[in-house]
Amino acid sequence: MSVDRSAEDLLRELAPQVLGALVRRYGLFDACEDAVQESLVAATLQWPREGTPDNPRGWLVTVASRRLVDHVRSEQARRRREDRIALATPQSELLSRAADAASDADRDDSLALLFLCCHPALSSPSRIALTLRAVGGLTTAQIAAAFLVPEPTMAQRISRAKQTVRGSGTPLGMPDTADHAARLAEVLHVLYLIFNEGYATTDGDDLTAPALSGEAIRLARLLHRLLPRDGEVAGLLALMLLTEARRPARTGPAGDLVPLAEQDRRLWDGRLVDEGTDLLTEALPRGQVGPYQLQAAVAAVHDEAEHVEATDWPQILALYGLLEQAAPNPMVTLNRAVAVAMVHGPAAGLELLATLEDDRRMARHHRLLATRAHLLEMDGRHADAAECYRAAARRATGAPERRHLTARAARLAPARADAPERQTGDLHHVLGRPPTTLEQALTTVLGV
């Protein structure tokens, strides 16, 4: 028998809190994580029969603590661990006292746990895997399926990550003030990577992995709840919501990719657009604007346009200029080249794109080729565009992108003699109405 949806959501919400309580008390990250997983399994079996306990968090902490102690005692080879627990916890407390009855029982260690899972000693893939496992509550099988690797491979990755955290001797807790900003940036980057993999998978037959991007949004909501005044946390959550809002229109009936310019915007999730816009509008005036807020602002400008011709490309170009100053990155330059092409014409965009050809990170990337093909198509150079589309398709790792790029090449080659002349008209969004609150906030950021 399985728990209902509300109980399942409750378990996922409580899992990081329970793990944080155990790690704070015993300091054995890997053993505590295993014990918490066992307590969650016990809950899925017992709660449907006996009902959800009055204090579900306390129930889980108690069960997980007992499982942890049982495991330590049953393994003679781990006698040292047993000694550590025995020294840290009086015997009477283990036998008679509720495991969450300490004075800090209501303390939520979820944020500290996120920082621990994003430990600097871990590689980026290990941080992602450990975060999804320990904080997200996903099973090893679910994480392996999301990243298209065998379950044993993912199990080994998670196991090594837990061993690394244990070996580092880092206690559960918030980083020092001097280290806080850098560690928070690592947490945000991990959540950003998780979302991106769910929104546009890097491999496989499907364009998206909704469960993965949904989990990233859930964790970003948790982080925003714990750090409600942090502008970049709000910016990342807004970026996720504004981007996720387009998911219903991103694929056709056969699962093929539908580019932004061709999407049916009536399918976009207006609730997510409104939530993301409100978050961004509240965050922008607080102070220094960071990269996630700027990316969210770009997404908001796209989402506010009722149709593609109404897109305010000059504003998007200005935002990409700020983003390139705040966080120089070849992908930012790639996107700015598109905005340059939409404002100043495809030749100007191609000129900027050429500056990326010597960048080793981008020289053979399929998105550089795909973007060049798009700008060549805008410029009416259809034969050259088709060749670039085919080259991009050969380098794309995801099947939907390969099909999309191949189809675009097929439509252009051979180029038709009667192909319509490219449109270079003004795509500037003429308001004709009072500016919205978001537009006022953006005007302040852009200084115009």
Instruction: List the structure tokens of 178.
Output: 């001097």
**Is the pLDDT score of 444 beyond 80?**
no
Mean pLDDT computed over 343-363:
90
**Is the pLDDT score of 67 beyond 90?**
no
List, in order, residues 6 or more apart from 287 with CB less than 8 Å away. Answer: 231
Mean pLDDT computed over 389-401:
88
Looking at residue 85, its pLDDT comes to 55
Q: How far apart are CA 444 and CA 181, in angstroms?
A: 25
What is the pTM assigned to this prediction?
0.74
B/e letters for 381-404, b = 16+ CB within 10 Å, e = fewer, are: bbebbbbbbbbbbebbebbbbbbb
Looking at residue 198, its pLDDT comes to 79
Give tens-digit pLDDT for 307-323.
999 999 999 999 999 99
- For the ranges 43-57, 201-215, 342-356, the lowest mean pLDDT is seen at 201-215
Domain 313-416+424-428 sits in CATH at 1.25.40
Q: How far is CA 93 from CA 33, 98, 257, 347, in A?
A: 21, 8, 58, 74
Give tens-digit pLDDT for 180-224.
788 888 889 888 888 887 777 666 666 566 777 888 898 899 889
Q: Which residue has the tokens 């969450």?
A: 100
Give tens-digit pLDDT for 147-156.
767 889 888 9
- Between 385 and 441, name the one with better pLDDT: 385
**Is the pLDDT score of 283 beyond 70?**
yes
Mean pLDDT of the chain: 81
Question: Which part of the chain is CATH 1.25.40?
Answer: 313-416+424-428
DSSP at 251: B
Looking at residue 98, its pLDDT comes to 46
- For the ranges 96-110, 337-351, 354-368, 411-425, the lowest mean pLDDT is seen at 96-110
